[in-house]
Amino acid sequence: MQKPRDSRNAQEDPPKNWAVRHHDADAKVKNGIQRQFAGNLLHRITTFLAIVGLEVENGVREMRERDRRMARLKLDAEMRPFRTAGKKTNGTDGLLRAMREALGVRLEEISEKTGLGRSTVNDSERREMAQTITMRTLSRMAAGLGCKVVYGVVPLKGKTLEDLAEERLWRKVLGTGNRD
C-alpha cells in the first residue's frame, strides 16, 4: 500500500517523466547551439579558404610569370647570334651549297657520306633554298659536310622575346588583338 503524500513531499519529488522532458529540452537547445556554432565555423572556414585560395592563386600566377620571364631572358641571351643573323634578308638561303663549295666537297663525296644519290643531294640543296627541306635531310646533309644543324627561332625585326611579351600584354590590356 502506498502512503498518502503530503504537500511537502510532492514538491521534493518531481514526476518520473520530468527528467526525460528536461533532458529533451536541454538536448534541443544544445543541438541548436551546436548547429549555429557549426554554421558560423563553416562560414569562417569557407571565408578563410577563399581568401587563402586567392592569395595562393595570385602567388602561383606571379611565380608562373616570373618563371616565364626568366625563360625569355635566358632564351634571348642564347639566341642573340641568331637574332643578328635573322636581321639579314634570307641570310641562310643556299647555305648548304655555299658550305659545300667553301669546303671544296664535291656532290659525289657528300653523296657517299650521306648515302643519298647525287641527284638527291642536288635536289636537297634546291629544297633548302626554297625552304621546303626537312630537318632530317638538312641534318644528314650537314653531317655529310662534317657539320651539324643548329637552328634558332627568333622574333621578327630583331626584337627580343621580352619585347614580344610586352607587346602581347599591351594588346591584351587594350583589347586590340594581334595586328602584326
Structure confidence by residue, pLDDT tens digits, 142-171 = 999 999 998 888 888 888 899 999 999 889
Q: Which residues of the chain have pLDDT under 70?
A: 1-35, 37-39, 52, 54, 56, 90-92, 177-180
**How many independent structural domains does the chain possess?**
2
Residue 150 lies in a domain: no
How many angstroms separate the CA atoms of 49 and 70, rounded? Answer: 31
Tell me if 112 is assigned to some domain: yes
Residue 5 lies in a domain: no
Residue 123 lies in a domain: yes
Please report the pLDDT score of residue 103 as a whole number.
93
Range of the domain at 126: 86-144
Give the span between the Cα atoms of 86 and 82, in whole angstroms: 6
| Count of residues making up the chain | 180
- Residue (of 104, 155, 99, 159) closest to 129 by Cα position: 99
Residues 109, 138, single domain; the answer is: yes
Query: Are residue 103 and residue 124 in the same domain, yes or no?
Result: yes
Cα–Cα distances in angstroms (integers) from residue 131 to residues 86, 96, 124, in the given order: 15, 12, 10
The residue assigned the cell 648515302 is 115
Q: What is the pLDDT of residue 32?
A: 65
Residue 72 backbone class (left: φ over 0; alpha: ψ -120 to 50; beta: rest): alpha
* Angstrom distance (rounded) from CA 102 to CA 8: 128
